[in-house]
Structure 1
Amino acid sequence: MAVRTVLTRDADALARNLTDWEQSYDQISAGSFQGVLTELRLPRMQVFRESISQSVRQSCRVWPGAVWFGFPDHPDCSRINGRQVEPEFVMVRPGNNEFELLTPSKHSIYGIVVCRELLAAAAAAGACDIDWLRLQAAEVLRVDPAERRRCVLMLGELLAQRPDAAGAVPHQLLRWQGMVVEALLAMLDHSGIEPAAAASFQRRCRIVARVRDYILAHRGVAITVPELCAQAHVSRRTLQYCFEDVLGMSPALYLRRLRLNGVRRELLHAGAANLAIGAVAADWGFSNFSQFSSDYRKLFGESASASLRLQTPHP
């Protein structure tokens, strides 16, 4: 079928269900997770809408040779690679390039992933002037609001196709693909690429990335914030500012969230039924099992043993 819908109770399971993407999700805000993905696969394109109940940090990579366009459908700002994105803007990243999203709670986003060759050929045929070098390096586009609304409305209509009627014949899929390309080009023809982030902000992003890499490389160690400061070669105040500016949270909170999500990912992995929860928690640096259990339940809205029983299979 051309249109499929997936419902999940786990953020990372939702990440794994988006076809041909390499990505992982960490739940940031506390509470039980509900995620819905509706996806339409076209010959050289992918259209989807993702709705999530909790704030999520997403590490994403789109399939090679493609370009991704993201349309936040939420009044609160998302973040791409740390920079805030106003709701009326459009996010963009080329294929085979890792990027990071931080999305708020009760968030929805429409996405288009299109083969770059298809888009370039259509742009040339329609005399649409696209600065490909700048687009490849861009993260945020300022677009005409009316063209954006028309594009999002059309995406919603395509994704609302009845599943029992969505096994469309090839010419129908090509017609839908042409409609999306036409809407994209109309929007790109009236868009401006937002300037690159300031050098000072890029430095803060590098500091956060360095700290994240250190945490993951020492996941079984009880790391302190002063230790993170020493690794990043910054003061505690500077580290706090970097994390609040890039991720909207403190280093200590990020450390706990990252490790709790690491434990959950292992507990939900297929074949994890025989794992000892305490051992997994200790592997992620939790020495106080009682405190871990409390923190886990607060973040995910269920106990670690309940997560272990879910046993989410990998597709």
Structure 2
Amino acid sequence: MALASSCLTDHIVRDAPFACNAHQIRTVEAFDADEHAHNLTDWEQSYDQITPGHFHGTLAELQLPQMQVFLECTSQAVRQSCCVWPDAFWFGLPEQSDQTRINGRLAGEHAVMVRPGDCEFELVTPSDYTIYGIVIRREALLQAAELSGSRIDWAQLTSAEVMHVDNSSRTALLQTLAGLLQSDVGCTDSDLRQQVLLNALLALLDTSAVDSAVSSSFQRRQRIVAKARDLVLAQHDQAITVPQLCEQLFVSRRTLQYCFEDVLGMSPMQYLRLIRLNGARRHLRQASSKSLTVQDVAADWGFWHFSQFSSDYRKLFGRSPSESLRQRSH
């Protein structure tokens, strides 16, 4: 295994996608879902809060030579749009995998999620959520697998969303991740820590079975939901209704209802309200003009009854729209 560590170290100097500080664990917290989304280094993300109440998110992140390891906790249910940097693989190990949706699919109990870099994917996660994540450069994983004699179907891994794995291997990997992220005390040799984690990851991949089967009917439901989201965002100042959405998508109300419940676990009406409220919150917090008012933002997101907007906003986020405007980014 010394040869594996040496090879990985040689590769780092040329290609590491982030500034590596392998001796420190970076911890950060946030009280806004979308702010929390931007705390993970080198990811492109956007979060929409789903359940009502104050949001609290924490992140513990460790950079190893060719890997990023993190523990993410979120207090509220969230819809996440995510994308990892190119030439990498992301592996996600949630504590509540049976309640996690990846691209509309329930991951299932004891599952491990996987997506390649430079490929947008969607997660819908429940309240009080905890997930461990690993991002590893593709070349480093290929090299480590070859040196250890692991047999991995790379084509399947690239197209997969969910892996069903041996539970003992999953538990061993979780224990390794927890140990690495628990504190900075202990071994500070970044190459050694990376090799220990690689060994645990490869043991899991050796026992995995990729679940890549997605029916054509489910793919159609995914497309309908994606088109609905695009239409709502493109016309966010018009407060598009469910009947209007059905008309523009050429589907019945019953079909639209079924698509949303199957892919997102919520109704179209609930989704329309959530996406507009989250859009308004994002707009308020990012407002650059001091002359911008809450009423301006509400109207821009199709909320014409201001008192109802303020009430709905406070119920979802636990604070008023004016408080969000005062907290805007500079």
TM-score by length of structure 2 reads 0.90
Is the CA contact (8 Å cut-off) linking 2:173 and 2:201 kept in structure 1? yes
What's the counterpart of residue 142 of structure 2? Answer: 120
Pairing 1:257–2:279 present: no
How many residues are aligned here? Answer: 308
Instruction: Give the match's secondary structure for 1:220.
Output: helix
Pairing 1:305–2:327 present: no
Offset, 1:311:
2.5
Of stretches 134-143 and 261-270 in structure 1, the one that deviates more from structure 2 is: 261-270
Is the CA contact (8 Å cut-off) linking 1:13 and 1:312 kept in structure 2? no
What's the counterpart of residue 38 of structure 2? Answer: 16
Of stretches 187-196 and 94-103 in structure 1, the one that deviates more from structure 2 is: 187-196
Is the CA contact (8 Å cut-off) linking 2:89 and 2:114 kept in structure 1? yes
1:144-203 deviation per Cα after TM superposition (whole angstroms, max 9, x unaligned): 0000001011101111123xx59x86xx11111111111110000000001321111111
2:164 alignment partner, one of 124, 138, 142: 142
1:1-315 correspondence to structure 2 within 5 Å = 2-74=24-96, 76-162=98-184, 172-269=189-286, 271=288, 273-312=290-329
Offset, 1:310:
2.1
Is the CA contact (8 Å cut-off) linking 1:31 and 1:54 kept in structure 2? yes
Distance 2:127 2:114 in 1: 21
Distance 2:329 2:32 in 1: 9
Instruction: Give the match's secondary structure for 2:46.
Output: strand
Amino acid at match of 2:300: D
Offset, 1:75:
6.3
Instruction: Give the root-mean-square deviation of aligned CA atoms.
Output: 1.5
Distance 1:75 1:93 in 2: 15
Amino acid at match of 2:260: F
1:89-135 deviation per Cα after TM superposition (whole angstroms, max 9, x unaligned): 00000000000000001111000000010000000111101100010
Offset, 1:234:
0.6
Offset, 1:272:
5.4
Amino acid at match of 1:85: A
Is the CA contact (8 Å cut-off) linking 2:70 and 2:181 kept in structure 1? yes
Amino acid at match of 1:139: E
Offset, 1:270:
6.4
Is the CA contact (8 Å cut-off) linking 1:68 and 1:93 kept in structure 2? yes
Offset, 1:306:
1.2
Offset, 1:222:
2.1
Instruction: Give the match's secondary structure for 2:324.
Output: helix
Distance 1:83 1:108 in 2: 18
Distance 1:188 1:128 in 2: 8
Amino acid at match of 2:61: E
Distance 1:74 1:274 in 2: 44
Is the CA contact (8 Å cut-off) linking 1:73 and 1:87 kept in structure 2? no
Offset, 1:312:
4.5
- In structure 2, relative to structure 1, the CA distance for the partners of 1:57 and 1:152 (3 Å cut) is same
Q: Note the residue ranges of structure 1 that are not aligned, 5 or more in a row.
A: none
Amino acid at match of 2:105: R
Percent identity over the alignment?
A: 56
Distance 1:5 1:273 in 2: 32
Is the CA contact (8 Å cut-off) linking 1:76 and 1:104 kept in structure 2? no
